[in-house]
Every structure is written in structure tokens, then in C-alpha cells.
Amino acid sequence: MTNVTIWNEYRHEQRSEKVASVYPEGIHGAIASFLNEEHTVKTATLDEEEHGLTEAVLNKTDVLIWWGHIAHNEVKDEIVTRVQKRVLEGMGLIILHSGHFSKIFKTLMGTSCDLKWREADEKERLWVVSPSHPIADGIDEYFELEKEEMYGEHFDIPNPDEIVFMSWFQGGEVFRSGCTFHRGNGKIFYFRPGHETFPTYKDKNVQTVIKNAVKWATPTKRAYPTYGNARPLEPVPGQSE
């Protein structure tokens, strides 16, 4: 079984009755509820010691799922560096919704990760644009969310390795809403839906995508490459021992 850690800043649910009514166990709890049958799941939140992301926790994590929004700047830089190191070593990372502006995502992308946005309770239609990709397994040509926050292009990210989903919104915008990246030995998937006031993570299609993404991002059993000065595999003329 894959060891999954779900990280959530867990602020909206504690401050807003509306959000708490949608996610009484927190967004992390909602995601854990549909992953824990197939995986070993742990949750972590911002206000825990070391944000719940200690060396011990991360060393046991195969895939880290990240949701944040209003407290990106409260995440300590040393924890960001710790997570980045684990991704480069092979840990999978799934960034959800407003996590696009998290320190860890911006660090790994090297860009502003900015975008257009609007809260207008719009319909979102997510099109599968890479139908053979394993993250799209079990999803029809498209699926719809009745109400979501709009994210619109231009999305300031590096060109993705693959675009799995493209969103269209009722107001007319489009958005690259399912993107994969590779950094070091690690695999990263950004998935757009998930505004805190809507029951997006209770949608079966959204759940299927996240389940598929966990499988895709699970590390391969391969040793981390050796870097730095290297001895020759065969004798090199003129080189001393």
C-alpha cells in the first residue's frame, strides 16, 4: 500500500461555519475518507509542530497531497526545503486548487504561478485532453462541477510535461487544470478544482482523479542517483589513482 500524507492548512474550516458545514472533518479528512481503503493515510496540518511534516513523517511518505489558501506565508521555509528535497529524491506531490500559490509549488516551478480568478458560483467543465493518461483512467470525455471558483489563463507555470485536463468556465475562461511535472526523481500533479465552500472533494469524478494521481505519483523503486566527482568505470590513460 502507498503511504499517503494529506496536508491541509486547516484554517477555513475552523473560521467559517459555511466551510465547516461542507467539510466537518476538514478538507484533509474528506480526502482521507476516500483514500484510506486503498492506502495507508496520514493527515497533517499547519498548526501542528513542524506543520506535521517532520523528517520522520516525510521519510515514510510516498505521496504528499497539499491544500492551502490563506496561510501560504506561514509555512516555514525550512519545511518547504525539506519537502522539496523529498520530492527530488522521489516522493510524489499532488498540489490541489489554491495550492498553486504555495511556497512549495512556486519553489518547484520557479515561476510566479499566478493566474486570473473569480468567485461567481460558475459551472466548470473539465475536458480530458490526454485520454490515454493513467490519471484520466475511468473518466469520460469530460465531467462537470455545478459550482466552482474560476481560474483563468494565463497560468504562469513552466510548460507542463503533460496536460491531462483543460477546464472551461461558464464566464468564458479556460484553464490548464490538470498538469504533470517531473522534478528530480519525483512526479508532481497539479489539479485545479477544490474551492473550500463547495463539496468538490465529494464528487466521484474528482475522487477518481485524485486516486489515479496517487497511483501515478507513487515513487518507482529506484536508487537516488549519485552526484558529484566520480571515479571512472574503466582505466583512463594519464589519470592517477
- What pLDDT, in 10s, does the model give residues 103-151? 999 999 999 999 999 999 999 999 999 999 999 999 999 999 999 999 9
- pLDDT score of 241 more than 80: no
- Please list, in sequence order, all residues whose beta carbon lies within 8 angstroms of the beta carbon of residue 56, skipping any fewer than 6 positions away: none
Say whether 77 sits in a helix, a strand or coil.
helix
Q: Give 3-state DSSP helix, strand, coil % of the chain, rounded to 5.
A: 30, 30, 40
Give the whole-angstrom CA distance, residue 196 versus residue 97: 9
DSSP 176: E
Percent of the residues in the chain that have a pLDDT greater than 90, as a whole number: 91
Percent of the residues in the chain that have a pLDDT greater than 70, as a whole number: 99
What pLDDT, on a 0 to 100 scale, did the predictor assign at position 223?
80
- The average confidence (pLDDT) of the chain is 96
- pLDDT score of 194 more than 70: yes
What pLDDT, on a 0 to 100 scale, did the predictor assign at position 103?
98
> Which pTM does this prediction carry?
0.96
- pLDDT score of 206 more than 70: yes
What pLDDT, on a 0 to 100 scale, did the predictor assign at position 107?
98
Burial of 104 (0-12, 13-18, 19+ CB in 10 A): buried
